[in-house]
């Protein structure tokens, strides 16, 4: 059985840390829109909102490539405030016969986000979240 694990939560909640932990030292692929904005050689991160749509598309394409390569587990960690933001991944999972798991990460450890997002913006993001319990 193949699994797509979507990890969602506010910036600083620990999505990246959890994804990397669950991926067992890179045994399984891990993707995020942050990959698009991170220099692969230096590790420097530079966000450009005007290219955000490209980052989302690149992440979807990376996930699809991993599915085409028959990865047993695939991890995607993005804020995913809204269900519709996850829909492309649900469609890919159905197309390639992956079981989807959605994990919501909460910030009980008190970390701050590493992307310099203001508290006001974080509050706006938090208000958008919808959680499906049933």
Domain contains 48: yes
Q: What pLDDT is stored for residue 110 in this prediction?
A: 76
Domain contains 134: no
Q: What pLDDT is stored for residue 59 in this prediction?
A: 98
DSSP 8-class letter at 45: B
Domain contains 54: yes
Domain count, the chain: 1
CATH code, domain with 121: 3.40.50.300
Domain contains 133: no
The boundaries of the domain holding residue 80 are 2-128
Contact 2, 96 (CB under 8 A): yes
Interior angle at CA 112, CA 109 and CA 73, nearest 5: 70
Question: What CA–CA distances, in Å, run from 41 to 35, 37, 38, 93?
Answer: 12, 12, 9, 31
Q: What pLDDT is stored for residue 129 in this prediction?
A: 83
pTM: 0.90
Q: What pLDDT is stored for residue 31 in this prediction?
A: 98
Contact 10, 107 (CB under 8 A): yes
Contact 104, 9 (CB under 8 A): yes
Domain contains 123: yes
**Sites in the chain below the pLDDT cut of 70:** 134
| Element at 63 (helix H, strand E) | helix 52-68
């Amino acid at each position: 059985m193949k699994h797509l694990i979507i990890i969602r939560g506010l910036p600083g909640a620990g999505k990246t840390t959890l994804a990397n932990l669950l991926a067992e030292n890179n045994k399984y692929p891990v993707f995020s829109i942050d990959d698009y904005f991170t220099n692969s050689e230096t590790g420097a991160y530079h966000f450009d909102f005007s290219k955000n749509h490209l980052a989302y598309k690149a992440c979807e394409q990376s996930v699809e490539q991993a599915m085409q390569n028959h990865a047993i587990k695939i991890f995607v960690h993005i804020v995913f405030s809204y269900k519709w933001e996850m829909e492309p991944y649900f469609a890919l999972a159905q197309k390639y016969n992956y079981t989807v798991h959605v994990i919501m990460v909460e910030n009980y450890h008190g970390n701050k986000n590493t992307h310099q997002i203001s508290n006001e913006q974080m509050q706006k993001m938090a208000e958008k979240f919808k959680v499906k319990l049933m």
